[in-house]
């Protein structure tokens, strides 16, 4: 029996210690489609505020990153990846594929069912999902075979 109580996955930005107050101020970033550089204040991995200059609004302990000339985009989603686990870990693993995806700006991937054995059993899909959660680099969504 597959236990779905932990679905949907929460992803790396939502994963933080309970009660933690982690603030990050992104300075001078160009938000895709907005035209002028902005500051972005993150609180516990979530966008709290966007504005022209948020230096006075950020907590004193906030990490400040100067991102002048950088572009801020929403997380990308790759709907067709071949992580090859289980069965072909010699070519790609969930951990190595997730790391490559995250490095490229992808926050979610959908892994194809052509594994060995074929991902046609809920237990295999659940195993892939949990391994993806344990890497905590991007959301891994197993695509099962019918």
* Residue pLDDT, tens place only, 90-121: 999 999 999 999 999 899 999 999 999 999 99
Total Cβ atoms within 10 A of residue 36: 8
Q: Which residues of the chain have pLDDT under 50?
A: 1-20
Threshold 0.85, pTM exceeds: no
C-alpha to C-alpha distance for 142 and 19, rounded to whole angstroms: 31
Q: 128 near 110, Cβ under 8 Å?
A: no
Position 33 scores a pLDDT of 67
CA 63: distance to chain centroid?
Answer: 20
CA 33: distance to chain centroid?
Answer: 22
């Amino acid at each position: 029996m597959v236990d779905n109580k932990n679905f949907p996955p929460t992803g790396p930005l939502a994963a933080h210690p309970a009660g933690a107050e982690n603030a990050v101020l992104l300075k001078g970033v160009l938000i895709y489609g907005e035209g002028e550089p902005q500051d972005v204040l993150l609180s516990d991995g979530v966008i709290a505020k966007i504005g022209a200059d948020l230096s006075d609004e950020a907590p004193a302990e906030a990490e400040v990153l100067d991102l002048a000339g950088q572009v801020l985009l929403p997380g990308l989603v790759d709907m067709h990846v071949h992580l090859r686990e289980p069965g072909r870990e010699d070519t790609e693993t969930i951990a190595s594929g997730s790391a490559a995806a995250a490095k490229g700006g992808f926050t979610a991937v959908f892994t194809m069912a052509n594994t060995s054995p074929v991902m046609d059993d809920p237990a295999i899909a659940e195993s892939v999902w949990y391994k993806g959660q344990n890497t905590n680099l991007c959301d891994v969504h197993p695509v099962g075979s019918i």
